[in-house]
Structure 1
């Protein structure tokens, strides 16, 4: 029976290192001189590993790398109702998490893309241990993957940033191409990118890890860092010339990504465990957190956070969008006095939906057709005011006229 590699070759998939340039005689310092590490022997050859250890009190920006807060709330949001997975994730100790980030020969993925540098960090008794598995030569990939699997052995869960879409599928492909079973599906997975998008969508126009570091973690990278888009070509240049002097920035970039994920998990778990104690200073952050609680169906906590956010200075559009969102939650919860107060506030600012909701309330809940007609007419006055967008007027006009006609017949 043909092997997986043979079947892939028959389909035109390049297996192994033949699609990468072979290393040339060195024209400059080798990797051992630029980034000191160790040669690790496996059953499939050697791989090069750089170990870095950070003390327990190390801080990345404003935050430490270990978390002491409960994972329960974050896990509840991540697992989307899977009770068994939630329980397993909550039982994980901080030492059971592996923080993973890869640097690759291409930004699109695919069978021809190699993870030439895999950075993995985990908490140990002496602090935070970061191991970076580097392909000095593409022919060392089997040894690299074996060493990575060995390092992940004690871990029960992965933490990544966009890892579900990129890092993990790419590594799974690399194991598959070797004809091996990948170890990654056996690990629970916390991808922090969806968390960041939910929490900071209102505050940050871009939720790249770099922006999260700067504006949330309070971290600043040094000039050693290199832009991610440059990294594939820098590795190809290394393979072509054997000169590793410009790779130091890639190792720094990868290390900072891993440390940032550890600090971010610490921040998120602490804030979600007790938003009040977290003393969030931005109303936008409270809104993001409220949306997470709303996703989980924890409406009392969501309402409290939305109300707290309205006490902060918010951009006008965001403020009124939050008032609208909060009013409908209160309506669904049966808190009509709370919803009415918000609708009246919004109607005073000519928010059309608020007038319509008040008209509905007085017609269907109070049977006060005169008051309902008053709010319906108020809505019509808004949409027929000079400068009101024509498309919006067309959207509302027919329904409002129909409602007003129906109310007049009931009066």
Structure 2
């Protein structure tokens, strides 16, 4: 489906044309002159003076002007009934309240559905330095029950100031900024551009909802990649067709600057629009997890590794009960792997749940002894437990000797200083336990 078709479909589903965003609060007016009425309407006199290339019209793009000049804007509205992958956009109304856990204390009153601004930039480079220019700004927000996707594009560098001025006018409507790595990339890039265009740095101070970090916490060991395009396909049921990779967007834009043909940019618009929809659905997914929707709105993970990682993240976010249910499911799974056993046991050790920690270490030790891994971590933990907690030096020595055997079988034993240090530490532990065991023997009469 062409981008123009998608845009028109979104408008038809919403039952009306594009809405007209507000011009912001007085805080933005202090930073830049007020955005004129033409900022939300392409029908002003300036728009008529500069006819657009017919290809822009096919893309659903219009010319927007304000006191700083003009730029291009494309707006698509999606109704709450719209599905993107497994999630319906209307789920945002109930899931958004859970995202307050990202900012405990600050967000005690909760998060309103229309207080979150989604952001995704298409830039000319990868860094956050002065030479990296955002040629397209993708925004998403809820307005009167619809999810609005706005995409601003500059046809040449002189239009950047007008595009940024309109953005600054919109920002005070929102409290939270939702991104995927936006805390360290998208927002710093914009702050740099605000400064270079004379608007200052502190035009707005958002409360960040950066979903890259929870995605890595939950899926780093179960997915091949935590790129948004991979997460959405593997966990949100979203399949992109004929998508232009984000890495090609800069070269397509540079080609447009060279030849003036906007038609190849259709793929960039489509890619960015899909990003904005996927970002909203990812926010819905994490919102459900944080508002008690695990097992109902969101299915339980299938893999023990993901169960444990999800539980660890939920526990850090203040949802201990939901985490405990996942830990229990994972510990009872026969297919749980060595690294997952170790991670869950480490959590139980920290929480003082020694009974389950020991059982998990014992399962891991059996797996290591059978050749599943060269790691001796479970053996060492058990040796420490029996030596220091139980004063059972015989069991402690047995696990220490088992660890010694495992590390000797390690193929990199003589290649790295860390392995040699581990071996030496185990020798000392083994010798100490032998002495303790000997000293504990009853003296012959």
- TM bin, normalised by shorter chain, reads 0.7 to 0.9
Q: Within 2, Cα distance between the matches of 1:113 and 1:366?
A: 60
Match 2:435 to one of 389, 401, 405 = 405
Please state how far the C-alpha of 1:36 moved relative to its aligned partner.
Answer: 2.3
Contact 1:34 1:248 in 2 (8 A): no
1:348 lines up with 2:348 in the alignment: no
Change (3 A) 1:362 1:198: closer
Match 2:236 to one of 211, 214, 217 = 217
Please state how far the C-alpha of 1:75 moved relative to its aligned partner.
Answer: 3.8
| Correspondences of 1:172-183 after superposition (within 5 Å) | 172-182=191-201
What's 2:65 paired with?
41
Change (3 A) 1:383 1:244: same
Q: Deviations over 1:231-279 (max 9, x none)?
A: 1121111112111111111111111111110010001111232234332
1:140 lines up with 2:159 in the alignment: yes
Q: Secondary structure at the match of 2:122?
A: strand
| Correspondences of 1:239-388 after superposition (within 5 Å) | 239-274=257-292, 275-277=294-296, 278-283=298-303, 284-296=305-317, 301-312=322-333, 314=335, 319-349=337-367, 350=369, 352-367=376-391, 371-384=392-405, 388=409
Task: Give me the TM-score of the superposition, normalised by structure 2.
Answer: 0.76
Contact 1:98 1:158 in 2 (8 A): yes
Contact 1:361 1:372 in 2 (8 A): no
Change (3 A) 1:323 1:123: same
Q: Within 2, Cα distance between the matches of 1:195 and 1:237?
A: 36
Q: Within 2, Cα distance between the matches of 1:105 and 1:219?
A: 27
Q: Within 2, Cα distance between the matches of 1:156 and 1:106?
A: 28
Match 2:180 to one of 157, 161, 174 = 161
Contact 1:99 1:258 in 2 (8 A): yes
Total equivalences in the alignment:
371
Match 2:143 to one of 87, 101, 124 = 124
Contact 1:31 1:136 in 2 (8 A): no
Contact 1:47 1:147 in 2 (8 A): no
Task: Give me the TM-score of the superposition, normalised by structure 1.
Answer: 0.81
Q: Within 2, Cα distance between the matches of 1:165 and 1:142?
A: 22
Contact 1:373 1:408 in 2 (8 A): no
| Structure 1: unaligned runs, 5 residues or longer | 1-27
Change (3 A) 1:70 1:238: closer
Q: Within 1, Cα distance between the matches of 2:358 and 2:401?
A: 19
Q: Secondary structure at the match of 2:128?
A: coil
What's 2:219 paired with?
200
Q: Within 2, Cα distance between the matches of 1:381 and 1:249?
A: 58
- Please give the root-mean-square deviation of Cα atoms over the aligned residues, in Å: 2.7
1:64 lines up with 2:88 in the alignment: yes
Q: Within 2, Cα distance between the matches of 1:302 and 1:410?
A: 42
Change (3 A) 1:285 1:377: closer
Contact 1:226 1:253 in 2 (8 A): yes
Q: Secondary structure at the match of 2:261?
A: coil
Q: Within 2, Cα distance between the matches of 1:91 and 1:386?
A: 51
Contact 1:360 1:372 in 2 (8 A): no
| Correspondences of 1:92-131 after superposition (within 5 Å) | 92-131=111-150
